[in-house]
Homo-oligomer: A and B are copies of this chain.
Amino acid sequence: MASKDRQRLLVDSLRRLVRRGAEAHLRRIVEKARSEDVASALTELPPRESHAVFAMLLADPERAAEVCAAWESSGLPELLGQFDAEELKPIFTELADDDAADILILLPEELRASILEALEDAESEPIEELLRYAEDTAGGIMSTDFFALDKELTAREAIVTLQENPDTEVVFYVYCVNEEGTLVGVLSLRQLLLVRPSTQLKEVMNSDVISVPVTMDQEEVAGIVARYDLLALPVVDEFNKLCGIVAVDDVIDVLREEATEDMMLMAGLGDTDAVLGTTAGAVRTRIPWLLAAVGGGLGAAFLIGSFEAQLAEAAILASFIPIVMGLGGNVGVQASTIVVRGIAMGQIDPSRAGQIMGAELRPAVVMALVCATVAGGAAFLIGGFDLRLAGAVATSLLTVMIFGATLGAAVPLISLRAGIDPAVATGPILTTSIDLIGVLLYFLIASAWLGL
């Protein structure tokens, strides 16, 4: 892609210029590039070089702040951690409050404290206020840099105010408040242009504003923005006082993060966003799930060991362990993925547990019947036309698949009620449980059929 080529070119130029120490040339290149591209170029450079580029960038704090705000992947805390509070202060003076808070939360506590210390009170106070909200709530992702006007103003006065404050972040909607700062209405910038200049805002504003409380979970906030196609969503405190706005670009980040997080958790990758992180980091987040699977596998070994007598009589029993385990796991993953994603997308109402279980179990029974028939038939052929073996394979596959689907659909619903993220509880833990119980069911059923 053209954009990827441009990116590669930028990385190469930065490397070359920083090695040559060509500061003026480098700054010109950075000025012409987009902040997002500079940010991702910096993540691709080796630490020493990205440090050198960023040190040059610090001479232009506004630009450096833009680059920090545009930073998308990991690596920013490591980069900033190489500088001290006095060097970083000008950046945080330039940053919007919400971006400043988002970055500070990632920094080591000591550096964070000394940066806040270094800032003027008027600058640090709104940031510290934002830091008090939990990271994954409306308060944690909102910007306090919004545009609210007294509902008594006229359209003309509103436009003048807008023109006098060119530094406020991009404005999509004009929020109207009363004298107490309570949110009472909204109108679009477009509407402001369409009415007579003498019209008061309260005459034209839409007073049915969708707003969310500061404490609402960010996933729910994102769901509302997506559902109602909003460009920004006002955030209010318990007295309906306007505290901030969540803009659509922050919501996009939330949606991508949450989808990634769910996928990672369901694959047993831990709650991390590092796609190409360090080896130690990868091992640390993944090994707990694998050790749990080792535990499950050893449990299965122990179970199978207790059927050693039966196996000695009919070694062929071992042959069908993989099919029973594999299909139980597959059906479980299908059911749990549907339920986890359905909840996340708001397409499933978790309070209707009965309906969901029904919708998952009906196809599971049909599929289990089909697979059991096929596998039973094959077992009949493989096992030397032994009808009892075929019956054992077919009925245990049927049982384990239905059990797998039930557990797969139920675990996310139960964990949601217990206040646990459904994506955490499913994934490897689910498949390991299905494996373990599946193996037990298989040997019990097979022993009964074969009279062992």
Contact = CB atoms under 8 A, between A and B. Distances in A.
Interface string A173-188: 0000000000000001
Interface string A304-343: 1100100110011111111111110111011011100110
B326 A432 contact: yes
B325 A355 contact: no
A60 interface: no
A296 B326 contact: yes
A298 B322 CA distance: 8
Nearest to A401: B290
Contact of A382 (B3, B301, B322): B301
State how many copies of this chain the complex holds: 2
Contacts of A159: 193
A378 to B, nearest CB: 5
Contacts of A228: 34, 36
Contact of A293 (B298, B305, B330, B439): B330
B326 A382 contact: no
Contacts of A194: 163, 166
Contacts of A312: 312, 315
A256 B253 contact: no
Contacts of A316: 305, 308
Q: Nearest 3 pairs between A and B by C-beta? A: A297-B323, A259-B259, A282-B363
> Dominant SS at the A interface?
helix
Given A226-B253, A259-B259, A282-B363, 20 more contacts: A3-B224, A162-B193, A226-B252, A226-B256, A248-B248, A260-B341, A263-B263, A263-B266, A279-B363, A282-B359, A283-B366, A287-B370, A289-B334, A290-B327, A291-B371, A297-B326, A301-B320, A311-B315, A322-B439, A330-B428
Nearest to A270: B334
B338 A275 contact: yes
A327 B293 contact: yes
A333 B297 contact: no
Nearest to A362: B279
B276 A375 contact: no
Given A72-B227, A282-B363, A298-B378, A319 B304 contact: yes
Nearest to A383: B305
Nearest to A335: B267
A155 to B, nearest CB: 12
15 contacts: A34-B228, A172-B231, A255-B256, A255-B259, A260-B345, A268-B333, A275-B341, A275-B345, A276-B342, A279-B359, A283-B363, A283-B366, A286-B363, A290-B367, A290-B370
A225 interface: yes
Given A363-B283, A431-B326, A374 B308 contact: no
Interface in A346-360: 347-349, 355-356, 359
Contact of A276 (B220, B300, B304, B359): B359
Contacts of A323: 293-294, 296-298, 300-301
